[in-house]
Chains A and B, each alone.
Chain A
Amino acid sequence: SQQGEEDPQALSIQGGENATMNCSYKTSINNLQWYRQNSGRGLVHLILIRSNEREKHSGRLRVTLDTSKKSSSLLITASRAADTASYFCATDGYGGSQGNLIFGKGTKLSVKP
């Protein structure tokens, strides 16, 4: 069953604005990752945040993690049309399959030029 739930399901913004997507999960985690999927393509890894980290940056991406609330957010600053894609959070699997990822349903981001 799916672990993460992204919110909102869809987001439409103007280029230059910031985009914030949220992910909530159900069980304790060691790591949380964010992936991007362009239309008709496979997923591409964006960033990983570990359970002992609260915030992480990579270029225009900022990820936060609140383990007490079991939630994470992905912020894309100064968005561009090229950021149009679906964004998924993924958490580690359980027990002996901790290398497996459990994906949320994704947020579909549309950035208008």
Chain B
Amino acid sequence: NAGVTQTPKFQVLKTGQSMTLQCAQDMNHNSMYWYRQDPGMGLRLIYYSASEGTTDKGEVPNGYNVSRLNKREFSLRLESAAPSQTSVYFCASSRTGGPGETQYFGPGTRLLVL
């Protein structure tokens, strides 16, 4: 099993450009998450999907949109990138999204917005 995969690994954008970060999991998990990690900070939740067909805002959703394409895939879209969105983005999944569950993380996407 590959676990959680993310593409691309690195991306450089110019201000105003758009892009979609892709995430897929092969563990048959119901819940998926998008986080961003900035230097010296922990992870902050952008959006999550408790189950296929549902998405909800996390702590820092502004400037992002998400799509839960199917049970396996959860994408994050930046419609008009800004330098403040320079960060490392992590996707994660968990079995049911219940309290106390382990989250499984992908390797991350490093995004630089110029």
Interface on A for B, CB 8 Å cutoff?
1-2, 4, 9, 30-31, 33, 40-45, 48, 50, 88, 92, 97-106
Contact = CB atoms under 8 A, between A and B. Distances in A.
A45 B103 contact: yes
A44 B40 CA distance: 18
Contacts of B114: none
Residue with the greatest number of chain B CB neighbours at <10 A, chosen from A9, A33, A97, A99: A99
Nearest to A3: B42
Nearest to A101: B103
Given A1-B59, A4-B42, A103-B42, A42 B102 contact: no
Nearest to A31: B100
B112 to A, nearest CB: 15
Given A104-B42, A105-B40, A97 B100 contact: no
B79 interface: no
Interface of B: 4, 31, 33, 35, 40-45, 48, 50, 56, 58-59, 90, 92, 94, 96-108
Given A42-B106, A48-B102, A100-B45, 16 more contacts: A2-B42, A30-B100, A33-B102, A40-B108, A42-B105, A42-B107, A42-B108, A43-B92, A43-B105, A45-B102, A50-B100, A88-B42, A88-B43, A99-B31, A99-B97, A103-B44
A43 B43 contact: yes
Contact of B58 (A42, A92, A100, A106): A100
A22 to B, nearest CB: 15
Nearest to A105: B42
A103 B4 CA distance: 19
A98 B96 CA distance: 11
A100 B48 contact: yes
- 5 nearest A-B residue pairs (beta carbon): A42-B105, A103-B42, A99-B97, A31-B100, A98-B99
B4 A42 contact: yes
A102 to B, nearest CB: 8
Contacts of A101: 43, 45, 103
Contacts of B92: 42-43
